Amino acid sequence: MIENIIYLILFAMLFATAIAIVRIDQLFPVVILSGVFSLLSALLFVTLDAVDVAFTEAAVGAGISTVLMLGTIALTRPVDRKPERRSFLPLMIVTIVGLTLIYGTLDMPSFGDINAPAQAYLYPEFFAQSPKDIDVPNVVTAILASYRGFDTLGEVVVVFTAGIGVLLLLSGLSLRKDDGGEE
């Protein structure tokens, strides 16, 4: 019961933050509000007992991306520019995509369903085997790094590639600046 009230409050606050982000023209408050949005979703993950995910969301969503967005604002303009004419095409696309996503969730098992595919296969084995095989209290780490070690290697390579990509795109420009700028 009390959990449902917490969910309701958190979702209401998430909704309010999202509306505020859309409504505000000044981009500085928008960036701060997106950090608030991340922190609120981190709280939601904590209530859902997904502390590892909540941790990541708080660190990456509220921490790093806020800093990077602020850095981006410093490079561009701090005010959102209003379009000259209102067009209904974007609204239509957003509505259609939103409805499609909602339609997609209809097939998903309901929250906490014990017969959900995610609960029924593999994970019971992981939970049963992990004390014998790996014997660490945090089963999330055991699954992430050992049972799914190959996937995690892939994730690290993705992070690596993203870093290299940003370096190639942005550092090249600053190098030219160091050369004197005018060529």
Cβ proximity to another protein, 20 vs 145, nearer residue: 145
Beta carbons within 8 Å of 101's beta carbon, 6+ residues apart: none
Cβ proximity to another protein, 75 vs 102, nearer residue: 75
Helix ranges (H only) for 106-148 are 117-120, 123-133, 139-142
Cβ proximity to another protein, 104 vs 137, nearer residue: 137
How far is residue 40's CA from residue 10's CA, in Å, rounded to a whole number?
Answer: 7
E-assigned strand segments in the chain: none
Instruction: For 115, list phi and psi in degrees, rounded to 5.
Output: -90, 5
Q: Which residues bind another protein (CB under 8 A)?
A: 51-52, 54-56, 59-60, 63-64, 67-68, 71-72, 74-75, 133-138, 140-142, 144-146, 149-150, 152-153, 155-157, 159-160, 162-164, 166-167, 169-171, 173-174, 176-177, 181-183
Nearest-approach distance from CB 60 to another protein, in angstroms: 6
Nearest-approach distance from CB 92 to another protein, in angstroms: 33
Cβ 14 vs Cβ 35: under 8 Å: no
Cβ proximity to another protein, 68 vs 97, nearer residue: 68
Nearest-approach distance from CB 34 to another protein, in angstroms: 16
Cβ 35 vs Cβ 68: under 8 Å: no
Nearest-approach distance from CB 38 to another protein, in angstroms: 12
